Chain A
Amino acid sequence: MKITEDSPPILSALDRPNSYIGRSLPRPNLARLTEGRAQYVSDLTLPRMAHVAFVRSPHAHARIAAIDTGAAKKAPGIIAVVTGAEIAKVITPWVGVLTHLKGIKSAPQHAIAVERACWQGEAVCAVVARSRAEAEDACELVEVTFEPLPVVTDAETALDADTPVIHRELGDNLTFERVHVAGDPDQGFRDADAVVETTFVFGRHTGVTNEPRSIVADWNPGDARLTVYQGTQAPHMMQNLFAKHLGLEEHQVRVVTKDVGGSFGIKVHTYADEMATVALAKLLKRPVKFVADRIESFVTDIHARDHRVTAKIGVKNDGTITAWEIDDLTGIGPYSVYPRTSGIEANQVVNLIGGPYTCPNYRARARVVFQNKNVMCQYRAVGHPIATAVTEGLVELAAAKIGMDPLEIRRRNLIPDDAHPSTGPSGIKFEALSHHEALAHLDSMMNYAGLRAEQKRLRAQGVHRGIGFASFVEVTNPSAAFYGIGGAKISAQDGVTIRLDAQGAIICQTGVTEQGQGTEAIIAQIAASSFGVPMERVRVITGDTDNTPYGGGTWASRAAGIGGEAAWQAGKALRANVLACAASILQA
């Protein structure tokens, strides 16, 4: 029999009316999405809007000897046919480097290829027409004379002496190299009773969004203003970059992002064809729309996770891990992607390997190399799948080698729950983690012993059942140490402005954006709770650089963590203002 306390539990702030944090509530923006009333960029039509299609290189690497646009210019509905050299007069090229990634280098990338195409799918000419269909028709009439050049595809041989250098002025095909040594890895391997070494190979993949990348750019010379409707995760970052490369000031550029049909991290980068679209709008003084088709998405949306990691672990017979060593090689295409660079994923792999374990002896090398393939960059869970697969693969192999249970080897090596704050082997700081508590919970939740017994029973019947574990530490809500410190104008902070309307509803303007993950809902939940109004009386405005505070946008799980905290603080501040005002009026 359970004895019930006489006194009820103490109520928390979250028990009062209009408290929505932690509750499962329908997202306020869903109704319009179920009614076909969303506002995706691909849905947008503006007066005098033109459409652009691109002629793309069929070669992985080729010199553009000549472009004959004569026939295309005479095709029905054509407004302009523009080459890379012509667009370069409107928009400057960019170089995807960050100063805190020591030694990272890349070549200037143009909105449309000038002289040379460096991957199959790179745009070499733009055709602008009254309709997309007419633009595509005329693309077929553009005569490009390509002279194929030697191709670098294999990351393994990209640095060999006899491999051609893609960007001669850079001297070699090495984009970035990081070497990290912590503790005494040599001593660690000497102390080991067993050493396991293997190579992990990861294939390229990408985040395939249902709505392809979409952009409508509108230059109004009368106002000297550029308005860009773009399916992006980071409107303020793009505002900065459009201004910078078109020779404008940020206040002259407005980026608007309403509904986005999936982003997954691929829509947080600068894409040459989108930069070209914006430049074309400036050149032609009218709105220009570009929506990637499915093939264009596959050959130009950033790819990710092309890594080959040779890795080694040392372990004692009692299960103590004594050393880690990894050598990561990753091929990133012909350019480091702007402005976040294509060095961050390898950097993260180095940061995260060995993460949750106590062993301090760690040697890592990561090399990032150029190739004539589509560009690669970071998306969703940057570096984590690689680092976790390698670390946990090594731990499993070590356990098998010494004949120890895989759960037990983790129990003996995970950082103790009471050891925080602590520092991982890469120097990464951990504030408060609870891997042991989580592991114990998992052990009982899954009935590990029972599953092992069942596995053994089934094995006798010819059924092979696998049981695997993975411990990892996830990096979220990053600070300026990620990008800002290296010179990219990407805010690590975010703001929320809340105003009270005359009838007592609140309007929240936030710098974080909605990509389908629920930003509008979480901001409404927090603001309603913080200020104290029903959620129906909260309106959230996102994705508009004219009407939201300067902010970093949505990536690395930062919308709820950073945008949400800003909403909480703004709601509290407004509440204090209202109470002070009311107290004064009511003489309370």
Chain B
Amino acid sequence: MSERFHEIAVTVNGEEVRERVDARKTLVDFLRENLALTGSHVGCEHGVCGACTVRVEGAVVRGCLMLAVQCDGKRVETIEGVADSAEIADLQQAFVTRNALQCGYCTPGMLLTAQELLASGGVPSREAIRIHLSGNYCRCTGYQAIVDAVEAVAKARAGERA
């Protein structure tokens, strides 16, 4: 049993956290239960719905398919950190303006996944937006408005760069 619990050091939203965690604990449970960062949600616990989407070392991952111990020494960002830093303020505003969310449960994951696409630059086609967001489920059926919001932000950001 000596190997079951591990001391990990993770930089979460810019703050270094040291916690002792069960080897089997998923990253999203670690964030929600150990750190009270409940903006990342748990929907299916097997990598299908995308509600648990977070960033590890800048890349979007499924918080339910990665273990907390795998994040030792790594940089993790959640919706709380990305919202506080204003990195996606324009995207959040576009979601609000276009009512691109109903219950909001999928929204944090949807925003992080959309931001990954937007950060790659250019103005993606609506089809490319849909494909990129295809791993994030909205059960209230609001994809049309979500694609609208992401497209609008892509165009606005491209306009600013031009």
Chain A residues engaging chain B, CB cutoff 8 angstroms: 26-27, 30-31, 33-38, 40, 42-43, 45, 131, 133, 208-212, 259-264, 291, 293-294, 515-518
Contacts and interface: CB of A to CB of B under 8 A. Distances in A.
B68 to A, nearest CB: 12
Given A26-B97, A210-B105, A516-B102, A43 B38 contact: yes
Contacts of B111: 34
Given A211-B103, A516-B140, 8 more contacts: A34-B83, A36-B37, A40-B105, A133-B24, A262-B105, A264-B139, A294-B45, A516-B102
Contacts of B44: 294
Chain B binding surface SS class? loop
A120 B2 CA distance: 38
B92 A31 contact: yes
Interface string B30-54: 0011001111111111100101000
Interface string B89-128: 0001001110101111111100100000000000000000
B21 to A, nearest CB: 11
Contacts of A35: 39, 79-80, 83, 92
27 contacts: A27-B96, A30-B101, A33-B101, A34-B83, A34-B96, A34-B107, A34-B108, A35-B83, A36-B37, A36-B38, A36-B39, A42-B42, A133-B22, A210-B41, A210-B105, A210-B139, A211-B43, A211-B105, A261-B43, A262-B105, A263-B103, A294-B45, A515-B103, A516-B101, A516-B105, A517-B102, A518-B102
User: What class of interface size applies to chain B in its complex with A?
Assistant: 35 or more
B41 A261 contact: yes
A34 B39 CA distance: 9
B103 A27 contact: no
B107 A33 contact: yes
A262 B137 CA distance: 12
A131 B21 CA distance: 13
B106 A210 contact: yes
Contact of B51 (A30, A37, A210): A210
Contacts of A26: 96-97, 99
Given A42-B42, A43-B32, A210-B51, A36 B79 contact: yes
B28 to A, nearest CB: 12
Contacts of B36: 45
Contact of A40 (B33, B41, B46, B79): B41
Nearest to B92: A34
A206 to B, nearest CB: 11
A262 B92 contact: no
A448 B95 CA distance: 36
Contacts of A30: 95-96, 99, 101, 104
Contact of B101 (A34, A42, A45): A34
A294 B42 CA distance: 10
B62 to A, nearest CB: 14
B133 to A, nearest CB: 14
Contact of B104 (A34, A42, A209, A294): A34
B38 A294 contact: no
Nearest to B105: A261
Contacts of A210: 41, 43, 49, 51, 103, 105-106, 137-139
Contacts of A34: 83, 92, 95-96, 101, 104, 107-108, 111
Which 4 residue pairs of A and B lie closest in terms of their CB atoms, listed nearest first? A36-B39, A516-B103, A33-B104, A261-B105
